[in-house]
Structure 1
Amino acid sequence: MAGRGRIHAMLRAARTGTALCAAAGALALALAGGAQAQDKPAGKDEIRIGNVNAYSGPAAVYAVLGKVPAAYFRMMNDQGGVGGRQIRFITYDDAYSPPKTVEQTRKLVENDQVAVMYGSLGAPTSSATLKYLNGHKIPHIFIASGATKFGDQAAWPWTMGFQPSYQTEGKAFAANILQTRPDAKIAVLYQNDDFGRDVLKGFKDGLGDKAKMIVAEASYESTDPTIDSQIVKLKASGADVFMNMTTPKFAAQAIRKIAELGWKPTHYLGSNANSIAAVLGPAGLDNAKDIISSAYLKDANDPEWKDDPAFKKWNAFYDKYLPDADRKDALTVYAYVAAQTMEQVLRQAGDDVTPANIMKQAANLKHFRSDLLLPGIEINTAPDDHYPIEQLQLIRFDGKQYVRFGPVIDSSKKR
């Protein structure tokens, strides 16, 4: 995922009229009429949108990525829907387990008959459904992951990511290290799946013939209880730069363990796990000082945006539709922007909300700007470009908030 994004803060169930139903370990949210909507057949008066997310398991901090669009689409329904159609959003829990993702995705397509899969979470989980959804010609769009493969329109024409790719971010970190620490000794911690390997590849590609600067690597499984032993091993390598390519739970653990060991490397942290509320806070703000990450979204914690009309609108949305949301969590900005983009796709689709036209419109976004994107960053797609956001800016945590530095980095011409 891009922005800022995230650990122990799970958002309580939204008091929005959305129906939460648990069945066989799945969490289903049905909009446009509450629980009764589940029995309503698809037709000219509704658009069915499917989603799979981690409401339990090791990535449950990302539950907000299902709850925010549920609330956002409810708001749209209250405003008349799209072209006279109400939006029915159905989301199931996969506990961040690829086999469960496949099961829940099949249920959404074959039983719920969704027209589009939107915003599903994760690289390993979403990867497990690529062949199935492309084979059934179901749009699989705005996946909450920066895995580069989700922009490979030649291989997966019905698939599209959303945030800047992990490889883009890895290259940006590498460029900064080469510029500021040319003699660095680098230690890398990464998740042993498509996510971790993707950002690691981008990082090594960015270092080029200087990849020998990496003196130690350690991986972990998403099911591991801790990564303490990996951090001890990496510190012992003598590294003075640490690349933290992890998800929120493990990012917070790494920050705490580094402080406990008295290790003081220059610390780079992926944007998917850089939330102040969900990661840095639980890890200890003092421990997180000077961490470098990247951003493409405005930060709700930054006083620079205190009087920004975009955040006033954003706050009004949460006040009415999701009042319990932790607005310090960058995921609440990310999920809102992704939902805005899905709304734009549906409005461009007009009366033709078939899967084919929804996919066509997703691949035809021209200079679309959510007002919560950072200045100079916009969303563009094309039939041969399934990377919606290809710009980012480096940020540094000062102990209270992130501070942007350097220029906006545009990777659209550099893949």
Structure 2
Amino acid sequence: MWSCAKVGGVSSVTVPAAGRRRPRGGPRRRPRARRVLVGLLGLVVALGAVGCRVSHDEKPAAPGCAEPGVTPDSVRVGLLYPDTGNAASLFAPFRAGVDARFGVAGEAGGVGGRQIRYTWRDDASNPAGNEAGARALIQTDRVFGIIESTSVASGSAAYLHGARVPVTGTSLEAAWTQNDNMFSYSNMISDGPSVTTWGAFVAERGGRKAIIAQSAFSATSVTMADKLALSLQAAGVRVVDRVDATGPIDIPGVGEKVRASGADVLVGAVTGAAFGQVVVGARAVRANLRVILSPVSYDQRLLRIFGPVLAGVYTFVDYQPFEVGTPAHRRFLAAMLKYAPQVSPPAQQAALSGWISADMFLRGLAVAGPCPSREAFIRGLRGLKGYDADGLLPAPVDFSSHFGQINRCYTFLQVAADAQHFELVTPAPRCGDEIGQ
């Protein structure tokens, strides 16, 4: 009279409704019959629950929890990124990477018997939009935590920290190094020192004078330009000028400014598309450049758009690039084809960042226990050691000691002469030292 049925990956017990059949004992025996029926039903439910627990085919029902976004069969997560605004093109594939990682997790049964669902909001590439999006996710959508990739995370950082909401994502601002509820596998920017890694790489290739492309209307771009400048100067490379690359870009004018500066090094702290236009301008006026370097040019789409203009350009990443070809890369690419087939090519920097950010969130849920709370998530993930995103990171991350530290190690790549692919620059990764304040 009972059965174990799987509902959304969770085992449940089904019993017939009481009171539908008239007991056979007649009027005088009805009270006793009811007691017997209630007792039998209790025994049936108990035995049925035991049967569900010991079955090798069924999973136990997850406990009910009072935390926002958590139900017995699912966890609701918020996704916050720029779908519009000047940074949208840089982060667009991030969501696809999240879809792929959650798709794989769902196929495996979720976390603790719970499927992962998400609701997304657009921060419109500005701090006010970022805060509004975060507040909507927490107060209206009632999500448990947030996965975020944006250059304006500082807009909501104080609010989310005050509410003790766990956040995983890509670190592009100092806020990620200041708030213990925010987790990233790598910190490129902090409010402290820079690193020698970038400058040493440029100096090794004969660079002596540099010009930096930045966007005056992006605090993240200006901060990144400052960190790059410190690194270059520490290696003996003089920064002779900066050029604004805020759209719409005056390509001939920017190119002439690069040439007139006398720089033999061009470094970018802007989006890949913007930097590509700066390179077009510099090439057109035959600027005498030995080294061209950008942190966001590792993107096959840029090679399709700009072609031979980008031949010889250097870039760097803080994870294992696709050229390494690990089993983890193959799993990622297979998942992208299955759960995000609209993204082409699937081997994109932002998509891989989305995958790793979602993976970090899943790990946080796993260590938070069978009835996850936000505080248990933060405490558990902050204590996690040896995290390597299943082999996608060049070295394991210790989240307890990693907090607040800037990344010192990067893998450099160069656009091949045919501008059709990237080539690994050895040794990889390259590590430098922090530059004192």
TM-score, normalised by the number of residues in structure 1: 0.77
The CA distance in 1 between the partners of 2:428 and 2:379, in whole Å, is 32
Give, as a single letter, the amino acid of the residue that structure 2 aligns with 1:364. Answer: G
The CA distance in 1 between the partners of 2:347 and 2:359, in whole Å, is 19
Give, as a single letter, the amino acid of the residue that structure 1 aligns with 2:210. Answer: I
- The Cα of 1:292 is off from its aligned counterpart by 1.7
- The Cα of 1:91 is off from its aligned counterpart by 1.1
What corresponds to 2:32 in structure 1? none
Kindly provide the CA deviation profile for residues 95-121 of structure 1, in whole angstroms up to 9, marking residues without a partner as x.
212222221111001011222111x22
SS of the residue corresponding to residue 410 of structure 2 reads: strand
- The Cα of 1:249 is off from its aligned counterpart by 2.3
Residues 1:367 and 2:386 are matched in the alignment = yes
CA contact (8 A) 1:252 1:280 kept: no
SS of the residue corresponding to residue 92 of structure 1 reads: strand
Give, as a single letter, the amino acid of the residue that structure 1 aligns with 2:351. Answer: T
CA contact (8 A) 2:84 2:122 kept: yes
What corresponds to 1:232 in structure 2? 256
Residues 1:292 and 2:308 are matched in the alignment = no
Q: Which of 275, 300, 309 is equivalent to 2:298?
A: 275
Q: Which of 282, 285, 289 is equivalent to 1:265?
A: 289
CA contact (8 A) 1:377 1:392 kept: no
User: Counterparts of 1:307-386 in structure 2 under 5 Å?
Assistant: 308-326=326-344, 327-373=346-392, 376-382=394-400, 385-386=403-404
Q: Mark the CA change 1:76 to 1:373 in structure 2 (over 3 Å): closer, same or farther.
A: closer
Structure number with higher relative contact order (C-alpha < 8 Å, ≥ 6 residues apart): 1
Give, as a single letter, the amino acid of the residue that structure 1 aligns with 2:301. Answer: A
Give, as a single letter, the amino acid of the residue that structure 2 aligns with 1:157. Answer: D
Structure having the higher Rg: 2
Kindly provide the CA deviation profile for residues 289-338 of structure 1, in whole angstroms up to 9, marking residues without a partner as x.
221221233333x3x52xx4333322321232112222242333332233
What corresponds to 1:252 in structure 2? 276
Gapped regions of structure 2 (runs ≥ 5): 1-67
Aligned residues: 360
User: Counterparts of 1:52-131 in structure 2 under 5 Å?
Assistant: 52-61=80-89, 62-118=91-147, 120-123=148-151, 125-131=152-158
The CA distance in 1 between the partners of 2:433 and 2:145, in whole Å, is 26
The CA distance in 1 between the partners of 2:241 and 2:415, in whole Å, is 25
CA contact (8 A) 1:164 1:390 kept: no
SS of the residue corresponding to residue 128 of structure 1 reads: helix
Give, as a single letter, the amino acid of the residue that structure 2 aligns with 1:163. Answer: S
What corresponds to 1:51 in structure 2? 79
- The Cα of 1:380 is off from its aligned counterpart by 2.2
- The Cα of 1:170 is off from its aligned counterpart by 6.3
Give, as a single letter, the amino acid of the residue that structure 1 aligns with 2:96. Answer: K
Give, as a single letter, the amino acid of the residue that structure 1 aligns with 2:149. Answer: L
Q: Mark the CA change 1:352 to 1:230 in structure 2 (over 3 Å): closer, same or farther.
A: farther
What corresponds to 1:139 in structure 2? 166
- The Cα of 1:196 is off from its aligned counterpart by 1.8
CA contact (8 A) 1:337 1:372 kept: no
The CA distance in 2 between the partners of 1:139 and 1:75, in whole Å, is 22
The CA distance in 2 between the partners of 1:240 and 1:101, in whole Å, is 38
Q: Mark the CA change 1:64 to 1:212 in structure 2 (over 3 Å): closer, same or farther.
A: closer
CA contact (8 A) 2:97 2:351 kept: yes
Kindly provide the CA deviation profile for residues 111-155 of structure 1, in whole angstroms up to 9, marking residues without a partner as x.
11222111x2223x211111211121212332x233234112xxx
CA contact (8 A) 2:292 2:313 kept: yes
- The Cα of 1:255 is off from its aligned counterpart by 2.4
CA contact (8 A) 2:209 2:263 kept: yes
Computed over aligned residues only, the root mean square deviation of the Cα atoms, in angstroms, reads 2.8
Give, as a single letter, the amino acid of the residue that structure 1 aligns with 2:214. Answer: Y
Q: Mark the CA change 1:208 to 1:253 in structure 2 (over 3 Å): closer, same or farther.
A: closer
- The Cα of 1:233 is off from its aligned counterpart by 1.5
| Structure 1 range deviating more: 249-258 or 208-217 | 208-217
Gapped regions of structure 1 (runs ≥ 5): 1-39
Residues 1:150 and 2:181 are matched in the alignment = no
The CA distance in 2 between the partners of 1:234 and 1:95, in whole Å, is 31
What corresponds to 1:396 in structure 2? 414
The CA distance in 1 between the partners of 2:141 and 2:127, in whole Å, is 20
SS of the residue corresponding to residue 406 of structure 1 reads: coil
- The Cα of 1:65 is off from its aligned counterpart by 0.7
What corresponds to 1:243 in structure 2? 267
The CA distance in 1 between the partners of 2:173 and 2:164, in whole Å, is 20
